[in-house]
């Protein structure tokens, strides 16, 4: 059985990746901070799909947590065939308003953590001649909307470059760029989404199904749905001021 390691696997997009991969018969290593919720998720996936699910509780922003996950990715006796770098979150406020540590941790979870895990996974996959690496980016990568967009833009460019270098050696690297998805993401940010039109919202099952189709084909960038591909295309040519419009409002 192939094995996939998914970070941020107990909610939202990560949880749906776990479900759909388990339905394919893929064994799982799921990573999240909440050990109790993680164990419950692992048991549920095993009971429903009959696959082996390893729960690995870890705070990826803590050195020991990241090191533990990195060691698991590097384990040659239990190789990872698919790495899904999904863990992440958004922050409110502009750069001048936020503490540096808040911005640094935000950058670390979206850039430093996937960079380290990807490098480790890549070395093992290249030695075996096959593997897939996924970074969950965002359509925000194509718009000038603060440090979140900047971090997601890194994921897109990183995947494009890495896929050029490594796909011919059997390892594909894909950035998945969702739009608005019905998950816990915005609630955790404590921002209002009332102004977002209903037609822009995606459901996680649809998003992951479309994402896996592109991942299976070894694409470097996957933007699920035609409407979001159009939006991403327009964002590349519209003036920055237009692309940056519509920032979220706090619910506080």
Residues with a catalytic annotation lie at 148
The DSSP bridge partners found for residue 201 are 180
- Tell me if 236 sits within 8 A of 139, measured CB to CB: no
Over its C-alpha atoms, the chain yields an Rg (Å, rounded) of 18
Smallest CA-to-CA distance from 249 within 206, 194, 207, 208 is with 194
∠ CA 103-14-195, rounded to 5°: 65
∠ CA 191-197-199, rounded to 5°: 125
Torsion of CA 67, 140, 12, 64, to 10 degrees: 10
């Amino acid at each position: 059985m192939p094995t996939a390691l998914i970070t941020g696997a107990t909610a939202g997009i990560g949880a749906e990746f776990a479900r759909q991969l388990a339905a394919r018969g893929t064994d799982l290593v799921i990573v999240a901070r909440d050990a109790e919720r993680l164990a419950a998720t692992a048991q549920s996936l095993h009971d429903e799909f009959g696959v082996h699910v390893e729960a690995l509780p870890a705070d990826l922003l803590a050195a020991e947590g990241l090191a533990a996950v990195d060691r698991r990715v590097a384990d040659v006796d239990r190789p990872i065939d698919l790495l899904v770098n999904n863990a992440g979150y958004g922050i409110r406020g502009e750069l001048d308003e936020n503490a540096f540590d808040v911005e640094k941790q935000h950058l670390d979870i979206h850039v430093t953590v996937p960079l380290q895990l990807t490098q480790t996974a890549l070395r093992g996959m290249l030695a075996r001649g096959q593997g897939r690496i996924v970074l969950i980016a965002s359509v925000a990568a194509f718009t000038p909307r603060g440090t979140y967009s900047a971090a997601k833009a890194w994921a897109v460019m990183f995947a494009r470059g890495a896929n050029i270098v490594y796909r011919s050696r059997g390892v594909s690297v894909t950035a998945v760029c969702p739009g608005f998805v019905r998950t816990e993401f915005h609630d955790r940010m404590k921002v209002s989404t009332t102004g977002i039109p209903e037609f822009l919202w995606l459901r996680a099952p649809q998003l992951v199904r479309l994402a896996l189709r592109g991942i299976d084909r070894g694409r470097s960038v996957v933007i699920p749905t035609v409407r979001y591909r159009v939006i991403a295309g327009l964002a590349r040519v519209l003036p920055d001021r237009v692309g940056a419009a519509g920032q979220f409002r706090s619910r506080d």
